[in-house]
Amino acid sequence: MKRTTYILFLLLLLFLSSCSQRPRELASGLYRANIGYNDLSLLEEKITELGGEIVTQAVELKQLEVEFLSREARAQAIQKLKILPYTRFVESANSRSIFPPIVQVSSIKVEGPGWHQENLHLAQAWEKLKGKDTIVAISDSFIDMSHPDLKGRFVTGYDAKEGKEIPTNSNLEVADHGTHVAGIVAAVGSAEGIAPETKLMPIRIFAPEYAGDVSVAKALVWAVDHGADIINMSWGGPIYSISLAEALNYALSKNVILVAAAGNEGISSISYPAAHPGVIAVGATNPYGNLTWFSNYGRYVRVGAPGNRIFSSLPNSDYAFWDGTSMATPVVSGIAALLREENKDIDSYQVLSRLMAGGQSHERWTAVDAFGTVEAKTGEKAACLKLIVQESDKTGARLADIYLRHKKSNWRYWLKADTSGRAEFWGLKPGLYEISVAGPETPKIDPEDRVVVQKELELSSECTFSEIVELKTAFKLSMTWQSDDLDLAIKEGNWNWISSKDGAKFGSFSEDMQDGGEENYSFGGGISETPLKFGVYNRSDKEIKAKLRIIENGHERNLEITVPVTKDEPFEVDEIYVLGN
């Protein structure tokens, strides 16, 4: 009975962990949007006109977080703002979560190295390096700076929620998660950290709720500009954000090493910031060197570190054993601090390469070893790519997915271009790449099925600039049927339904066929601010079968439909979320 209860308890913890990572609105300010801008003066006027209020500004990145009075007001504002020439992107603001520990076991003070330190051969690594003259930023909940194992280990930090610096004697409300993570990196004493001579920079982004991507982006930039060598990110969420991506790229461009947790759902799942190109994504291993049952995995998770029963500090001079990828991540951040002590110019990719060269290789990932990593040689520096995606048909559908595939290793990276067509990749594995550009985002179609441009490009540490790609966005609809009168119908934005009898504002219809045949609609120039809906009028007195061929940003779909008799409104078939972005 006890065993059954324990298993049910673990399953409940896993379920709660999974729930914590689902996308949700920010708790404070439910209806917010993130905006990247080129001209703030023009944008401020438009935001006011749309009923929005600026709540956060990241000047260095030219980003805003704006609050609206309702979900509907935000949705309408996003549609209007993202087509303006002085905005670079507009996106809904979503929350991210700390990855909570899967198992927590409180403990009395423990002396001597933990199993993870022995498995990492840390004592041998310490004979050479201990992280001296390095700074690891802990982006997390606030840390108990008075803990006896952490006291005196801090430099000035930053509070993302309040937008102000955190002094080294701060008495902000402390939290378990940040304190435990910080101890794994740099504690001295009972629960000695991986890099006991490094300094810690507290970056509070959970207080207790997530501060928001723009506020966090601003905080990450602050950390970079104030001397952080490594940024630890034991948190994440499934939603991609250009706001956050720009801050991560800023850090990578300044040669700051980024380390992030893969997540605790035990599945192949995408989480950001871990999946961002150039970030070292970390899974959790057990004492046997295998991935734990709760650790996420996947293409972008290339290393695993001890994350099972890791002993570390808690507030009020306490300690505990915790499980989680949140615990594995600071292990890697600590090892990165050892390498940064040795080589101030080492970058994220070079750290990843040494982790893989010095660890125990598995089929798709490597179990890290601190001493092996210290002994490994530093390879070539990371490659980078700055890309501009240009449309040739000027439909206004600018957001595009960009995939890079390393031809030799099959490593893959993904980013989304902003509305000006710009995207930057940092921290890449050097070599020959296949570059795929997918048409603008469509929720019903996977990006890899929307590829409209492919080419190869050699990337090296000499950053490749402005490699221009033409992206042809298109939406074409064809309908064929045997007899009687059917008419294709399109609803463009807030306009009424139209057919070939009416003419289209943004596209064109073929000749009206009244007794079977083929009718076509093609989206032309211009911008549609809301999704395009399409349907079919049936002018007869009976059901009619028809075939539809839909070409949407390089992807083709074929449908067979039965059209009922219609009167004022057509039979609605589907809706296109793409054009007009």
Q: Which of 421, 420, 569, 579 is CA-nearest to residue 505? A: 579
Q: Apex CA 77: angle with CA 72 and CA 81, to 5°?
A: 160
Give the Cα separation of 70 and 73 in Å (integer). 5
Q: How many CB atoms lie within 10 A of CB 343?
A: 12
- Is the Cβ–Cβ distance between 572 and 535 less than 8 Å? yes
Question: Which one is catalytic: 20, 95, 116, 140?
Answer: 140
DSSP category for residue 412:
E
Q: How many CB atoms lie within 10 A of CB 265?
A: 21
Is residue 566 within 8 Å of residue 488, measured between CB atoms? no
Question: Looking at this protein, which amino acid is placed at residue 313?
Answer: S
Gap between the Cα atoms of 115 and 101, Å rounded: 18
Q: Tell me how far apart the alpha carbons of residues 389 and 401 are, in angstroms, rounded to a whole number.
A: 10
- CA-CA distance, 183 to 105, in Å (whole number)? 16
Nearest by Cα to 282 from 338, 337, 325, 248: 325
**Beta strand extents in 262-300 (DSSP E only):** 280-285
Q: How far is 257 from 228, CA to CA, in rounded Å?
A: 9
Distance of CA 37 to the CA centre of its chain: 20
Within 10 A of 90 (CB to CB), how many other CB atoms are there?
Answer: 25
Cβ-based neighbour number of residue 11 at 10 Å: 10
Other C-beta atoms closer than 10 Å to the C-beta of 238 total 16
276 catalytic per annotation: no
Cα atoms in the Cβ-side hemisphere of radius 13 Å centred on 160? 29
Amino acid, single-letter form, for residue 323: D
Query: 86: which 2 tokens?
Result: 């002085």
- Residue 369 falls in the annotated catalytic set: no
Query: Hey, which bits of 71-131 come out as E strands?
Result: 87-92, 97-98, 104-107
DSSP run (H or E) holding 60? none
**By C-alpha distance, which of 441, 434, 394 is closest to 417?**
441
The token pair that represents 186 in the structure block: 């740099």
Helix/strand number for the chain, H first, E second: 11, 35
Q: Of 116, 147, 177, 276, which one is the catalytic site residue?
A: 177
Sequence-separated (6 or more) residues with CB below 8 Å from residue 108? 319
Active-site residue 140, yes or no? yes
Distance CA 412, CA 275 (A): 10
Q: Which residues are catalytic?
A: 140, 177, 326
